[in-house]
Amino acid sequence: MVSGELRARFFDALDREGGSVSAAARVVGVNRATAYGWARKAGVRGRGKPGRGGHPGRAEYERLRASGMRRQDAAAQVGVNERTAEDWDRGVRKTNGSRVYPGGRLVDYKTGVTTYVGRLAEPSMAVLEAELHPRFLTLAEREMIADLLRQDVSLREIGRRLGRSASTIKREVDRHLSTGGSYRPYAAQRSWAKGRARPKDAKLAAEGPLREYVTAKLAVRWSPEQICHALVKEFPDDGSMRVSPETIYQAIYVQARGGLHREVAAALRTGRTRRKPHKQSDRRNPRFADPMVMISERPPEVADRAVPGHWEGDLIVGTRSESAIVTLVERTTRYVLLGHLPGGHTAEEVRDVLVPLIGTLPEHLRGSLTWDQGCEMAAHKQFSVATNVPVYFCDPHSPWQRGSNENTNGLLRQYFPKSTDLSAYGPEDLEHVAQELNGRPRKTLDWDTPAERLRKLLTAT
């Protein structure tokens, strides 16, 4: 039951936040739906998002950006997504499922249609005076440039007074000189605003030989990159027959938003009708809840196989991934241990097999375990606590980092071919297979068997 004190704190916060129910809910830490229910019962109507800027943290974000802070850091500090912060920097507004760009370009993401508001008209004063990223010259700065030019101030001195480089001022003046040779700030601002809107159709939107070529190659399942390079080879002297892979992808996915899902699925190998964003390296989600210790932190004596007792592990999986076998290989002796997983291979099931399997070993042969980043090792911390054996994880897509185990799994496929139901084999069958492998002489052991090498280790201590 929510206390009356919390509700009273909410209404106090509502007054402080200018009537914004959402902002007040955040302040007191209650669910927004609950807060709106309290407001309705009290006959209070929220005033929406405070101010013209929308998000309550936008003013703080713009202050941080003006102070020189990176976009990513400023967005994290005010608690907004970096894409939202990028929109703020670019002056993009969101309305009814559409994005309105400075200059009038409007993209409807429900239909994929791009239009231009006032495409042929002069930009409005709202566009001319829109608050933009600091890297763009403002109308006030252009007015100052015109005033200083009339006073015969040098371009370098103008740049110093505006805090801009002299080359920026020179490009601005050269680009927007009138026919009479004078610089007119309002004409320059209008010209710049119209140029930002890019009021032209997409390259593949118009009928023509380029679109026909791209369509024909997509129909025979060529990738956009293949089409891009083929155009250069087939039309080396025709600059109009050029298109980048990104332009093709954009044309395809805009059609998908318009309803051509089946056509897109046929055109692309992935069959996706929505783009899949590439994750940035510094934003990679943690693989497991407990942090991994990577193979690069493994002690040197493990890597050179000088000290016995360090193991490599993996699973071999049966048909339809319904059953599995745990495989452990000791790095120095190549001794094999097998664990039985007849009903599944969840993290808990793998942990419950690994703990007793490692527990059969003497203390001095429980050095470490190296595994890949498979989800079956999500309980690695619990395994380490139970056995006092640290787990080191290989880099993604690097099976050679546990080469002994990969080789052993290949040998085990002689006994358990792929697409085999591994639940049909009991613990006794696995023990028999392990004994056979451990009894084979190995070239890497100077033709000793793994069992002989392990026996020497056990008798020497």
Q: Which two structure tokens, joined as six digits, stand for 11? A: 């209404």
Q: What is the pLDDT of residues 323-368, one digit of tens each?
A: 899 999 999 999 999 998 888 889 999 999 999 999 988 888 899 9
pLDDT at 259 over 60: no
Give the separation between CA 253 and CA 246, rounded to whole angstroms: 11
Q: Which of 279-283, 327-331, 432-436 has the lowest mean pLDDT?
A: 279-283
**What top-level class would CATH report for the domain 295-460?**
alpha beta
Give the separation between CA 244 and CA 222, rounded to whole angstroms: 14
Whose tokens are 């938003």? That residue is: 257
Q: What is the pLDDT of residues 45-83, one digit of tens each?
A: 554 444 444 577 787 888 888 787 888 888 888 888 888
Q: Is the pTM of this model over 0.75?
A: no
pLDDT at 461 over 60: no
Task: Express as a percent the part of the chain with pLDDT over 90.
Answer: 30
Give the separation between CA 214 and CA 228, rounded to whole angstroms: 9
Bridge partners for 338 per DSSP: 327
Give the separation between CA 48 and CA 252, rounded to whole angstroms: 37
Check residue 317 and report its DSSP letter.
E
Q: What is the pLDDT of residues 170-188, one digit of tens each?
A: 999 998 887 777 888 888 8
Bridge partners for 368 per DSSP: 310
